[in-house]
Structure 1
């Protein structure tokens, strides 16, 4: 009974976080000028992308190693990862000033950017570590405060106080929410019994981890690069006001991915990994088919509902610009649907341990996005980026599907 209650609370916190993020982006479209919303979109994707350079996806290695290690040895591993993070901070944090020097972001955002980047990285790593230590409920609370609770608070403050309807209010709320998550994570970790903190940094262990994490980092940077470059490229082609509409629409569309991740993928792909480890082809095939039909059905249902409600929602916002750009929403919804459907063969390959096929797909997909957007942009400026996304995700879907069928025996499909 207690286990069931914890799981329900866990799911409730994650679900509330998803809804809160969606509500925030939608209400910001009502309270902020389109240019401010566009700037917020640039800031969030830049922070999200920069996190990979501060973390190097090293958690992929650390999570497994912490689980294998005895409690009296775990402190040394975490101390070693902390040493790596400090080195990465010293290298990459100064380089972020180049984004502002090149005029990609205004200088007044620089202190906000640095503060949020460090807070997001530390709380993200704490979250992952606590999940690895089987403290999922605490991890969900941290996630709720760093990505959910502050969103609700900001929406409430803006609703009650017209003077607070500005981007700085959002940034203050974000910092406060992440800081609360940080305090919770550090407190829980401090009370967790782990030895080895007094030992020296294990540089050999760090080198071993980097050899494992770096190939996956390259693939992640390529895939996430699509959803980072797109904002900057769209602004260059269409302007900051139009980017506000793009940020609103892409935020609504990517809610589908968050919904699918929380409601489908998280529950099914671990079972596929276990079936592969146990050499159980029948169970793998059953879970894969379940993943496929649920993804198709829910993606179709979400897309239909989104298309039916988008016009009345935009009319309620009272911003004519968003209604003028409504055509963008249809193309971005199609691109997102292709991306989500592409997760079917993705998890099939991932569960089977075929990482090279995924790395190749992501790097090649990023190149397809760059090439197709560059070709289309001289003829259809505002449509170039959405069409580039569609071409890229069609390619990634086709490539992953081909590789899954090529690398998976017939009785496993």
Structure 2
């Protein structure tokens, strides 16, 4: 087996184990924790996920392109500039995030864990993105395995063996240790790369230029991720924290599709698409685009078929009537994730060409559609309003990006 194929196989295997670990974790949490605790865990994780965008400011969308285009001797200056920006953002955003607890959106009992996990997740996420950009996908997968996989296996085994550990705090402690291990590995590898250019002065003009690129994308990201954060809070408001636990369970299972595609397909193909476009290699760009389409469709079909077959036995094993009573929600969450995953095909094709405007416009418009549609549906079908609103929003994004790709991509690149 060629070296590149072997690396990719190991990478996909690691990501697959990670996803399986997260999949098992959400089911064991559903079995061992009360639905209210699972609902709180879901609120905490999506809020951390949303806050990550505020801290990162989506600046990686600019630095990724710069790192790929620049010589290694310039990488240190690029990373130094991004680090300075991150420090400024920490000082500005953390006081704002405190309002989450002041306004009782989340209880103060998880405030310490929220900020600790947020910092660890942000730094490890940025290191992972850097490693992907410099073609270190395998190590990025190992880091992901540490921050999202191994600790999930550990806490699942621990809860099986010791009933007294079946509480949310044990889950959060394990999460923190996993992220810390990933952080240490990422820093160690960063030193091994012998990146130079750290001595360069902070380039404020470069940072401002990056912000001009990143902020519009950030607005778009905050819009689409806002939908996938507000949905939990809105769903809890329309139903209750117990039913939210069922929604969190089904969304956790369904979003494994997007995680698998990101690991096994997107992470390998979009850097190559950026390089092909930068080098004006239309043949390579067209080939990578078609590969992206084909692999996404194949993996999505396999995942959906497997999920539909497996869901009933898994819910029976949980032995909690609440989840079985709300099984219809699973079909909605599966459709949501499928539409979102398919929209990433034209998304990466546009992003690789630097065509950010249609991405931005589609994401902002989707939020403007989601809110009134969900509000209207909530008056008649409170249980289905949020997932139906998400389906409509993501279908809109998919159609918008496909149309933009056809209209804006030169014929030789299609």
Q: TM-score, normalised by structure 2?
A: 0.92
Query: Which residue does 1:15 correspond to in 2?
Result: 16
* Distance of 1:127 and 1:190 partners within structure 2: 14
Equivalenced residue count is 413
Kept in 2: contact 1:361–1:396 (CA 8 A):
yes
Query: Given the superposition, is the C-alpha separation of residues 400 and 74 from structure 1 closer, same or farther in structure 2, using an over 3 Å criterion?
Result: closer
Structure 2 unpaired stretches of 5+: none
- CA shift digits 1:292-333 (9 cap, x unpaired): 344344433422332222122101001110001111111221
After TM superposition, the structure 1 = structure 2 runs for residues 7-406 of structure 1, keeping only pairs within 5 Å, are: 7-69=8-70, 71=72, 73-270=74-271, 272-273=273-274, 276-277=277-278, 284-285=285-286, 287-406=288-407
- CA shift digits 1:249-282 (9 cap, x unpaired): 0111111112223333344445554554555656
Query: Given the superposition, is the C-alpha separation of residues 298 and 32 from structure 1 closer, same or farther in structure 2, using an over 3 Å criterion?
Result: same
Q: CA deviation at 1:72?
A: 5.0
3-state SS of paired residue (1:342): helix
Kept in 2: contact 1:71–1:193 (CA 8 A):
no
Kept in 1: contact 2:340–2:394 (CA 8 A):
yes
* Distance of 1:158 and 1:18 partners within structure 2: 19
- CA shift digits 1:51-102 (9 cap, x unpaired): 1111111122223334555555543432322221111111111111101111
3-state SS of paired residue (2:330): helix
Identify which range, 105-114 or 203-212, moves more after superposition: 203-212
Kept in 1: contact 2:76–2:198 (CA 8 A):
yes
Q: CA deviation at 1:4?
A: 4.8
Kept in 2: contact 1:223–1:366 (CA 8 A):
yes
CA RMSD of the aligned region, Å?
Answer: 2.3
* Distance of 2:296 and 2:7 partners within structure 1: 26
Query: Given the superposition, is the C-alpha separation of residues 176 and 356 from structure 1 closer, same or farther in structure 2, using an over 3 Å criterion?
Result: same
Query: Given the superposition, is the C-alpha separation of residues 159 and 203 from structure 1 closer, same or farther in structure 2, using an over 3 Å criterion?
Result: same
Kept in 2: contact 1:13–1:140 (CA 8 A):
yes
3-state SS of paired residue (1:193): coil
Query: Given the superposition, is the C-alpha separation of residues 371 and 403 from structure 1 closer, same or farther in structure 2, using an over 3 Å criterion?
Result: same
Kept in 1: contact 2:254–2:337 (CA 8 A):
yes
* Distance of 2:58 and 2:46 partners within structure 1: 17
Q: CA deviation at 1:35?
A: 0.7
Query: Given the superposition, is the C-alpha separation of residues 202 and 405 from structure 1 closer, same or farther in structure 2, using an over 3 Å criterion?
Result: closer
Kept in 2: contact 1:35–1:241 (CA 8 A):
yes
Identify which range, 21-30 or 343-352, moves more after superposition: 343-352
Q: TM-score, normalised by structure 1?
A: 0.92
Structure 1 unpaired stretches of 5+: none
